[in-house]
Chain A
């Protein structure tokens, strides 16, 4: 029963995330400012995404409830890709029809150093994050001596262990927590180091809105990463304690709680931050444009990619949507992208190699 609930909640989480993004509101569709009034085609795009999302939810929940478990696992693994892929197709379609206002070639820049990254972060959230990692590691050290020679290390989509190995391999989860915290700080620094270009009129109001946008982005990243790490901590300690004699019933609950925490983090951060971020983006657009100071000819593929060799900036605010993109003319952008892919794969690969010893 628990495994079927876990399968259903996996699908429902993805569906909820896509449903939250699939919106047409005023001049924004999928939370993107297309620089023109929305028309019937845009609303049709949203309806199509909602239709596919709803159908995926119904089929997924029905499969999780009634299909034989192997089939339900297959559905839970593959079905979430359907609404995501459909959303991406519709987003690309909408971007192609965008008519964003050209960024002004005239702008102001402050002669004072911009606020450093630490001014955007929430101290209580960072303390909680650090304490979560430290306490998880301390708790694992405490139970490590009592663990059996073999502990479950991998679970199938139904939450049943399908690979066993040395308890020391569980330190990889501590590594993942540190990586997530480092990633959180990297993203925060990226937001803080964005270009401070201001319009020639309403300069102070724009600066305030720009700071508010950065604060909201940072808070969203902090909340999301803390929830992800809380899920990893629950998995780490749940697996360890669930491996002790008489505590095996904890394993299934651990998977469920970890799933709820990560899903809650993803959905919760979107619910809490998307609307205020959209509002502040609207304010910035009205005051002088979000991507002020960027090169007009740097925006490629309808404004989805920024490639400007003569622009030294690495972190660029998205021209249409919420968040940031890279200046792909900077080698550092490619290096960071590779690192973000290589480090998680490296952690997984190391864990696999250790388990074969």
Chain B
């Protein structure tokens, strides 16, 4: 069963959590081209949030070219190949922030590198 995880205790907004995880599933190939996402109403009911929260997550994915939103029908995955090229600068900034946090925790260059290695292995193993 394909699932996503939500954490109401996290500082990350729920719509970002949803968007990030659906993006991850598409990237790993778990959600393939043409796959239907649950309706906004159904996902909002299961997560326990307002309809707008899920709609916002789906809009982010649609803006990235990962999901096709058509009025009156369910959101459909367009597939990674059609995804718009991400802004490299923006991604570097986000990665830089992660590295800063790890360094501030007292980790050295090798430990940070090992951290990324493990994260990469987990991502492609799933």
User: Which positions in A face B, CB cutoff 8 Å?
Assistant: 105-114, 193, 195-198, 200, 203-204, 207, 293-295, 310-313
Contacts and interface: CB of A to CB of B under 8 A. Distances in A.
A155 to B, nearest CB: 46
B25 interface: yes
A193 B51 CA distance: 16
B48 A195 contact: yes
Interface stretch (B4-12, B62-70, B105-113, B114-122): B4-12
A203 B45 contact: no
A108 B48 CA distance: 12
Contact of A111 (B38, B45, B48, B49): B38
A128 B22 CA distance: 44
**Size band of the interface chain B makes with A:** 20 to 34
B48 A112 contact: no
Interface in B36-56: 37-39, 42-51
A103 to B, nearest CB: 10
A108 B37 contact: no
Per DSSP, chain B at the interface is mixed
A206 B106 CA distance: 39
Contacts of A195: 45-46, 48
A207 B42 CA distance: 17
A196 B2 contact: no
B69 to A, nearest CB: 16
B31 interface: yes
Contact of A293 (B2, B9, B48): B48
27 contacts: A105-B9, A106-B5, A106-B6, A106-B8, A107-B6, A108-B4, A108-B6, A109-B3, A109-B47, A110-B2, A110-B38, A111-B37, A111-B38, A111-B43, A112-B1, A112-B2, A193-B45, A195-B45, A195-B48, A197-B46, A197-B48, A200-B5, A294-B48, A310-B50, A311-B48, A312-B45, A313-B45
B52 to A, nearest CB: 11
A207 B1 contact: yes
B2 A312 contact: no
Contacts of B9: 105-106
Contacts of B8: 105-106
Given A105-B8, A105-B9, A110 B1 contact: yes
A198 B3 CA distance: 9
A197 B48 CA distance: 9
B6 A109 contact: yes
B3 A110 contact: yes
B7 A106 contact: yes
Nearest to B18: A109
Interface string B62-103: 000000000000000000000000000000000000000000
B77 to A, nearest CB: 10
Given A109-B6, A204-B1, A312 B48 contact: yes
A312 B49 contact: yes
Residue from A110, A114, A295 whose CB has the most chain B CB atoms within 10 Å? A110
Contacts of A312: 44-45, 48-51
A108 B5 contact: yes
A114 B2 CA distance: 12
A117 to B, nearest CB: 14
A196 B4 CA distance: 12
Given A109-B6, A312-B49, 5 more contacts: A105-B8, A106-B8, A110-B3, A110-B46, A197-B47
Contacts of A111: 2-4, 22, 25, 31, 37-38, 43
Contacts of B49: 310, 312
Nearest to A109: B46
A113 B42 contact: yes
A109 B4 CA distance: 6
A109 B7 contact: no
Contacts of A204: 1
Contacts of B47: 109, 197, 293
Contacts of B48: 195, 197, 293-295, 311-313
A196 B7 contact: no
Nearest to B37: A111
A242 to B, nearest CB: 50
A218 B21 CA distance: 33
